[in-house]
Structures are given as structure tokens and as C-alpha cells.
Amino acid sequence: MSYSEGHPIKLVGGRLALDFVNTADWTPEDEVAHEKLTNIADLETWLRALNLEQTEPVQDLQSLIDFRFRLRQLILKRTGDSVLNVVQSLDFSRAGSNASIPFNQSITALIAASAVSVLTDNRELKRIKMCPGNNCGWLFVDETKNGRRTWCSMESCGNRAKAARHYAKIREERL
Ligand SMILES: [Zn+2]
């Protein structure tokens, strides 16, 4: 299910750039396990949830999806790419196709600005975690005082893990 089909939109990343990479669920191999931005209507639904529906309509969803992958790899430090490289590759191609759109009105520009602020702040980078839930891979800023947040959300991955532990224990007791 995608966003426009009613998939719930959970903004748990704490930063726009992180919520953006969380528009897919990810396998441990960094492949998309579940895509929630399958078409422009999905993107519009997501933007509405962020109160960003007034940004310029995105023409090229695929390059936004490519950008999302590169951005995630960058945040997870799985690539030697630089943030400016990743950001510029997008905005230059965009400027070429439609130079009349003001930079600050494109969602890509807003995400890029958020990404730059996250990626240039070491305190911030240190607090970014990846949810260990099965095929989740969501990123979030751990803003708890003791730095012990583990899950993207307790309602989804946290509870699934708790249930899995519970059943494992029951199985053990039966053996
Ligand atoms: Zn999760």
C-alpha cells in the first residue's frame, strides 16, 4: 500500500531529510523493501502531511527516488560521496529542465537544506540511529536524554520485537 492508498504517514525521523528517506522501508542490504512513493499522488499526500503541499509540483519522481537512496547512503556513511555532490546533482538537472522555479519552492531544495544541516552537525550525526526492526531501516534522531531510543516507533517495530521475544520465550518454556 502506498500513501495515496491510505498507508499511514508516520513522521518519526525528527528532521525533514530523515522523514523523507523513511518514505520507503529498507532491507538490511539497503534495498527498498516497501515503496510508499509509487506515484505523484503519493508524494502529494506525503507533502500534505508535512504542510508542504504548496511546494512546486515535482515532475520527475524517479530522480527524487534516486536522490533519496543517495541521501540515505550518505547519512549512513556507506558512501564517500559528499553532501554537496548529492544535492547538486539533483538541483542542477532540475535547473536545466525548468529554470523558472525558485529554488526555495522546490521540495528537493527543502530536503537538501535539511540534509545539509544534519550532515554538517556532528552532535546531530551522532544521534542518528537506524531502526533495527525487520525490513524497516528507518532513520531518526534520538532526542531522548539517555540516548536509549531503539525503535522508529514503539507501536510498530517496538511492539513487533516485544511480541517476537514473548513467543520465543513461550516456545522455550514448552521445550
Ligand atoms: Zn522501525
Task: Give the domain extent around 54.
Answer: 3-174
Ligand 1 geometric centre to CA of 117 (Å): 24
Structural domain count, the chain: 1
Which grid coordinates are listed for 145?
536524554
Ligand 1 geometric centre to CA of 10 (Å): 11
Residue 142: which CATH number? 1.10.3300
Report helix angle 40-49 to 61-75, nearest 10. Answer: 60
Query: Which residues touch 64 (CB under 8 Å, ≥6 apart)?
Result: 37, 43, 58, 90, 107, 108
Ligand 1 geometric centre to CA of 149 (Å): 11
Contact 130, 151 (CB under 8 A): no
Ligand 1 geometric centre to CA of 92 (Å): 33
Q: pTM for the full model?
A: 0.86
- List the alpha helices (DSSP H) in the chain: 16-21, 40-49, 61-75, 83-97, 107-119, 122-126, 159-174
What is the residue-level pLDDT of the chain in tens, covering all 175 positions?
A: 999 999 999 999 999 999 999 999 999 999 999 999 999 999 999 999 999 988 888 888 998 999 999 999 999 988 888 888 887 766 544 444 555 555 557 888 899 899 999 999 999 999 999 999 999 999 999 999 999 999 999 888 988 878 888 878 887 777 6
